[in-house]
Amino acid sequence: MNPRDIEQALDEHLGAVLSSRRTAEAPARGLAALSGKQVEFALHWTEVISKSNSEMAYQFVAHAPRALAALGVEGTRRWLLRALEIYDREGLYPGSAAFADIDSFARERRLQHVAVELSEVQAVLERFIRGLAGRELKIATAADGRARTDTETLFLPPRIHRFDRREMNYRLYKTTAALLWAQTRFGTFRRAAPDAPHLVEHIAALGEQVGDHGRVLRLFNLLETIRLTACFERELPGLFRDMQSFETAAAATPARDATWRHFTVRLQAADATIADTLAATASLYPLQLPWPAAFLYQGELDPAAAQAVSDARVDSERAQLQRLLGELLAAAQGAPGDGDADDEAEQRRFHLRDDPGQDGGIELQLDGEAVSLPPEAAAVLSSLLQDLQQLPEDWLTPAGDGEYPPGRSAEATDATVAPADSPGPGQDDAIFYDEWDFRRRSYRKNWCALRESPAHPLHDDFAALTVEKYRPLVADIRRHFEALRDHDKLLKAQSGGDDIDLDALITARADARAGTEMTSRVFTRKHKAERDLAVVFMVDVSGSTKGWINQAERESLILLCEALEILRDQYAIYAFSGMTRNRCEIYAVKTFAQAYDRDTRARISGLRPQDYTRMGVVIRHLSAQLGRVEARTRILITLSDGKPDDYDGYRGDYGIEDTRQALLEARHAGIHPFCITIDTAAGDYLPHMYGHASYVVVDEVRKLPLKVADIYRRLTS
Amino acid sequence: MNTEQHLERYRIVGEPFYAPQGGEIELFEAAWRNAIPVLLKGPTGCGKTRFVEHLAWRLKLPLVTVSCHDDLTAADLVGRYLIIGGETRWVDGPLSRAVRAGGICYLDEIVEARKDTTVVIHPLADDRRALPIEKTGELLRAPPEFCLAISYNPGYQSVLKDLKQSTRQRFVSIEFTYPPADLEADIVAKESGLDAANAAKLVKFAGMTRNLKGSGLEEGASTRLLVHAAKLMVAGVAPRAAGRAAIAETLTDDPDMLQAVNELGASLF
């Protein structure tokens, strides 16, 4: 199409907004440079838009050539649709502004593909950081986008879209997290001794001495990053290369300056410490040199937060260390309570020695002899030594078997779980279990009191009705499960085995006499049934299961029992609920020893919703039960409708982490945990608790009875 | 019977490489001289089997190794009748063979075997030092050179597979752990021919995976895995690829964990 034809077409559509000073000539010239197809596209949309508003149509056609060049046809279509949406919603002025702003639209579009969200990479980064070693660090979103650490949590921005390649954005996440890790690992916040000043005090002093506090902190951070980057170069060259890949010529200018270079070289030495960084800051600040640009992967420093967290941690770890040393000493001296041992204890001394042979190795000595530390003590000790270069001798004085160290921070759980009513062992028939506190990264000892009682039976026709209701399904289940059945048996006429099969041998000999070939299948072999498994079903009867869910759970149990009776798998069923850690209840519906009889059916029928869902303690209890059963494979199946939740703060991360820990313990004891849930949001937390392949979400409550037996069959075949 | 000739094949000719961590060689020798059986404890791939091979070579004893599995029965250890040329003939199992010849019988991962096997080893493991062979009515008396060694991994086995006290209290126990970093690097370098710098990096990598034990990984990378990775590297595989194939993918299937372990490897090489 030639410009004249285009202009004519535009005149037709845009007539209302054209005048002698604003003709269609300029846009027509722009369009003429495009390909025929693009011109067609532009004219088509000009016509369409002009039906809504001619000025919008004019704005469109004026920007269309640039949009087509930047976004392509499909991108341009989205761009104009969005502008129309804005016009519809907000009016002409914002609408035409949206046409003009092609660049930011293009950038956003690109970002959708290349931005990396913290939520996508958090799990990987957490494991990565834990693998790098040192103290365990959590990762959390920094709402304000400022990457920093308080020495216990790494705060990272919610998303990174700095580069237009996804891979580079991810790399920036990784290196940013690694640098924050390095601050805690390579001593940015470390002090010589407990009474030495914190970093925040050093910075404040420097600020008073030489100038602006904020600028001092900025310079210090920059220099410290240089020091830490050199640590990476020595220890983790792969990460160092990743860091280098961001760097451009920006850092080059001041490096040419001799003074600057002098300090940089000092900071990059293997023995450089935080004192060198402070010295360099003090010397360089007054010189008024231009500073190089900040490193991309360098976060911000928050020494005040680090001080608060570190003080609290050091206190609690000191108490913990002394308690553990007390235990260690008691163990070293044999039985506690021995009169002589107490006298001796006062003379025995722990002593800390740096073990130069090993990387960061520390050796604890008792009266000059090396002691091998249990993992918990080693972790506490190495965490303390990350905060303090040296521990005062009296910190190594063992404490008696004292109280559990106080929580570091007044968090909701600690406040609501009043220690006043802490369960005293041996009150009644309660069994006490530890509970995992993820904030302390240790167990609360004997925290939960659990009582086991038989479930309340309700003798009615519920079981019969259920079997009747699902009659076709029951038949189906029976048939499928029959196929899985297996017995111990003696296999005859085998080609190899434990003993000789005399019948087969006689036949074979007779055959040989008769001149035919003698078979070699003359042995007997014991075939042991492969299905040697025990399973416990742990049924959630918390308040939230009221109504349909409870009905579906009971029906599922009936169908399941019908199926399991065919297989002769060993199984037990327990329902659980409770309120607070002092009243965790577990109801035995069917123990391993009990048969599936009238009474069991009555107990299933009688299950009713109770209170809350404290899962960890129940898992621990049932794992112990399972451990006592003899079977090759042991399975713990949870039937649940939601997250762990209890009245006294057992919710959110606390509940999930304790449950996860209990499941890890179970796995460690050789039990396979599995979860069947009807919580459709379970994808958010179950993979973390049970692992990716160990749960099933049944999305409709009514389907639960149909599914449970089938899930079990697939799980065990 | 040609057991003796047969057993010659079980002699270890060249010295198997073993770097001692502490006094374990002396301990084993002392136990052997006093006819006490030995229990080796430790995680997988830390050198238990190699240790036994090394001692068999040192003591010039034939070594019969049995890797126990859950279908291993007492008959598999002691022996059974076979029909050969129309006649039944008794054939010794590995345990009887080692007893007759006065060698080392090493039962690897003993708890994996069926329970009846432990009964067979009991009379051998106390001062009777005898192996009754039920089917032939024979009572095999072990010569002084005979040595019973079993291994067991306390780390990941289930409670049920725990070794019973009545069994374990017959043994002298030697605990194995992963060697200290510099020694482990030496071992990796020696076993694979990898240069010292890269061997040290591999050991560091292993340390990182061991940090993850309990928080998603069942077990950290063993020395054996490091040697595998090192051999791949010597064969020209790029370090990151070798770490991925020999270590990360071997340790876990969980995608997040896999990526994290790979990142750890990449941070070093």
Task: Note the pLDDT tens digit of each residue in B164-203.
Answer: 778 888 999 998 888 889 999 999 999 999 999 999 999 9
Angle ∠(B249,A181,A273) on CA atoms, nearest 5? 130
- A166-185 and A237-244 helices cross at what angle (nearest 10)? 130
Average of per-residue pLDDT across A36-41: 87
Identify the residue with better confidence: A53 or B157: A53
pLDDT confidence tier of residue A254, bands split at 50, 70 and 90? low
The minimum CA-CA distance between B59 and chain A, rounded to whole Å, is 31
CB-based contact, B158 to chain A, within 8 Å: yes
CA nearest to A534, candidates A564, A558, A566: A564
Model pLDDT, residue A400? 59
The one-letter amino acid at A288? Q
- Cα separation, A196 vs A185, in Å, equals 19
pLDDT confidence tier of residue A409, bands split at 50, 70 and 90? very low
- Count of CA atoms in the C-beta half-sphere (13 A) of A128: 31
The mean-pLDDT minimum among A5-19, A421-435, A527-541 falls in A421-435
Chain-wide mean pLDDT for chain A?
A: 82
Inter-residue contact B26 to B172 (CB < 8 Å): no
CB-based contact, B154 to chain A, within 8 Å: no
Query: Considering only residues 163 to 182 of chain A, which have any Cβ-Cβ distance to chain B shorter than 8 Å?
Result: 174, 178
Whether the per-residue pLDDT at A8 is higher than 90: the answer is no
Interface test with A, best of B21, B134, B159, B268 (most A CBs within 10 A): B159
Average of per-residue pLDDT across A326-341: 60
Whether the per-residue pLDDT at B162 is higher than 70: the answer is no
The one-letter amino acid at A251? A
Inter-residue contact B261 to B236 (CB < 8 Å): no
Give B-chain residues touching A668 at CB under 8 angstroms: 156
pLDDT confidence tier of residue A338, bands split at 50, 70 and 90? very low
pLDDT confidence tier of residue A354, bands split at 50, 70 and 90? low
The minimum CA-CA distance between B243 and chain A, rounded to whole Å, is 13
Q: Could you say which of A124, A131, A518 has the minimum Cβ distance to residue B209?
A: A131
Whether the per-residue pLDDT at B1 is higher than 50: the answer is no
Whether the per-residue pLDDT at B78 is higher than 50: the answer is yes
CB-based contact, A703 to chain B, within 8 Å: no
For chain B, give every domain's residue range: 3-175, 181-268
Q: What Å distances lie between residue A238 and A203, A580, A682, B268, CA to CA? A: 32, 49, 37, 5
Whether the per-residue pLDDT at B2 is higher than 70: the answer is no
Whether the per-residue pLDDT at A329 is higher than 90: the answer is no
Q: Could you say which of A128, A133, A500 has the minimum Cβ distance to residue B88?
A: A500
B182/A692 touch (CB, cutoff 8 Å), yes or no: no
Model pLDDT, residue A474? 82
CA nearest to A267, candidates A213, A188, A211: A188
- A54-90 and A25-32 helices cross at what angle (nearest 10)? 90
Model pLDDT, residue A255? 57
Give A-chain residues touching B265 at CB under 8 angstroms: 238
CB-based contact, B78 to chain A, within 8 Å: no
Average of per-residue pLDDT across A35-59: 87
- Cα separation, B207 vs A708, in Å, equals 42
Identify the residue with better confidence: A600 or A52: A600
Average of per-residue pLDDT across A442-452: 86
Angle ∠(A462,A463,A464) on CA atoms, nearest 5? 95
Average of per-residue pLDDT across A306-328: 85
Model pLDDT, residue B189? 94
Identify the residue with better confidence: A355 or A117: A117
Give the distance from CA A583 to its chain's centroid. Answer: 29
CB-based contact, B160 to chain A, within 8 Å: yes
Identify the residue with better confidence: B153 or A278: A278
Give B-chain residues touching A502 at CB under 8 angstroms: none
Q: In this structure, how many other beta carbons lie within 10 angstroms of the beta carbon of residue B85?
A: 6
Percent of chain A exceeding pLDDT 90 equals 13
For chain A, give every domain's residue range: 3-113, 119-185, 189-301, 310-396, 462-482+531-716, 489-527
- A25-32 and A3-14 helices cross at what angle (nearest 10)? 130
The minimum CA-CA distance between A28 and chain B, rounded to whole Å, is 54
Identify the residue with better confidence: A13 or A483: A13
Query: Which residues, other chains included, contact B157 with Cβ-Cβ below 8 Å and sequence gap of 6+?
Result: A670, B111
Rank A470-484, A524-538, A650-664, B26-40 by mean pLDDT and report only the highest: B26-40
Model pLDDT, residue A319? 86
The minimum CA-CA distance between A545 and chain B, rounded to whole Å, is 31
Question: In sequence order, what DSSP letters do the residues of A623-680 get, joined into one string?
Answer: HHHHHTS--SEEEEEEEESS--B-TTS--HHHHHHHHHHHHHHHHHTTEEEEEEE--T
Q: What Å distances lie between residue A44 and A38, A64, A102, B260, CA to CA? A: 10, 12, 20, 52
Tokens describing residue A248: 């451009």
Q: In this structure, how many other beta carbons lie within 10 angstroms of the beta carbon of residue A594?
A: 15
pLDDT digits (tens, 9 = 90+) for A121-167: 888 998 899 888 777 888 888 888 889 998 889 999 988 888 888 88
Instruction: Kindly give the pairing relationship between strand B87-92 and strand B79-84.
Output: antiparallel
Residue B113, judged by CB atoms within 10 A of its CB (0-12, 13-18, 19+), counts as: buried
pLDDT digits (tens, 9 = 90+) for A643-690: 888 888 888 888 888 999 999 888 888 888 888 888 888 888 888 888
Give A-chain residues touching B243 at CB under 8 angstroms: none
CB-based contact, B214 to chain A, within 8 Å: yes
Q: Could you say which of B81, B218, B261 has the minimum Cβ distance to residue A131?
A: B261
Tokens describing residue B28: 């084993």
Model pLDDT, residue A6? 86
* In A194-351, alpha helices (H): 199-210, 213-235, 237-244, 252-255, 258-268, 274-284, 303-332, 339-347
Residue A268, judged by CB atoms within 10 A of its CB (0-12, 13-18, 19+), counts as: middle
Query: Which residues, other chains included, contact B2 with Cβ-Cβ below 8 Å and sequence gap of 6+?
Result: none
Kindly report the backbone phi and psi dihedral angles of residue A517, in degrees, each rounded to the nearest multiple of 5, phi listed first: -70, 140
Q: Could you say which of A123, A358, A505 has the minimum Cβ distance to residue B83?
A: A505
- Cα separation, A274 vs A477, in Å, equals 69
The minimum CA-CA distance between A236 and chain B, rounded to whole Å, is 5
CB-based contact, B197 to chain A, within 8 Å: no
A130/B215 touch (CB, cutoff 8 Å), yes or no: yes
A236/B158 touch (CB, cutoff 8 Å), yes or no: no
Q: What Å distances lie between residue A425 and A80, A443, A446, A662, CA to CA? A: 72, 17, 8, 21
Query: Considering only residues 218 to 237 of chain A, which have any Cβ-Cβ distance to chain B shorter than 8 Å?
Result: 236-237
CB-based contact, A100 to chain B, within 8 Å: no
pLDDT confidence tier of residue A486, bands split at 50, 70 and 90? low
Whether the per-residue pLDDT at A498 is higher than 90: the answer is no
Give B-chain residues touching A520 at CB under 8 angstroms: 83
DSSP, collapsed to helix, strand or coil, labels residue A521 as: coil
- Cα separation, A15 vs A31, in Å, equals 17
Q: Which residues pair with B130 in a beta bridge?
A: B141
Give the distance from CA A696 to its chain's centroid. Answer: 19
A520/B182 touch (CB, cutoff 8 Å), yes or no: no
Identify the residue with better confidence: A332 or B194: B194
A358/B209 touch (CB, cutoff 8 Å), yes or no: no
B182/A357 touch (CB, cutoff 8 Å), yes or no: yes
pLDDT confidence tier of residue A248, bands split at 50, 70 and 90? low
Average of per-residue pLDDT across A534-549: 88
Residue with tokens 């009867």: A541
The mean-pLDDT minimum among A368-377, A433-442, A475-484, B21-30 falls in A368-377
Inter-residue contact A717 to A569 (CB < 8 Å): no
pLDDT digits (tens, 9 = 90+) for A553-581: 898 899 888 888 887 788 999 999 888 88
The CATH number of the domain covering residues in B3-175: 3.40.50.300
Q: Which residues pair with B105 in a beta bridge?
A: B64, B148
The CATH number of the domain covering residues in A462-482+531-716: 3.40.50.410
Identify the residue with better confidence: A532 or B64: B64
Whether the per-residue pLDDT at A407 is higher than 50: the answer is no
Model pLDDT, residue A572? 93
Whether the per-residue pLDDT at B269 is higher than 80: the answer is yes
Give B-chain residues touching A526 at CB under 8 angstroms: 73
- Cα separation, A615 vs A538, in Å, equals 10
pLDDT digits (tens, 9 = 90+) for B92-122: 999 999 999 899 999 998 888 877 788 788 9
- Cα separation, A451 vs A423, in Å, equals 13
ipTM over 0.90: no
Query: Which residues, other chains included, contact B158 with Cβ-Cβ below 8 Å and sequence gap of 6+?
Result: A627, A634, A669, A670, A671
Model pLDDT, residue B5? 55
Q: Which residues pair with A155 in a beta bridge?
A: A140, A148
* In A285-357, alpha helices (H): 303-332, 339-347
Give B-chain residues touching A691 at CB under 8 angstroms: 254
Model pLDDT, residue B58? 93
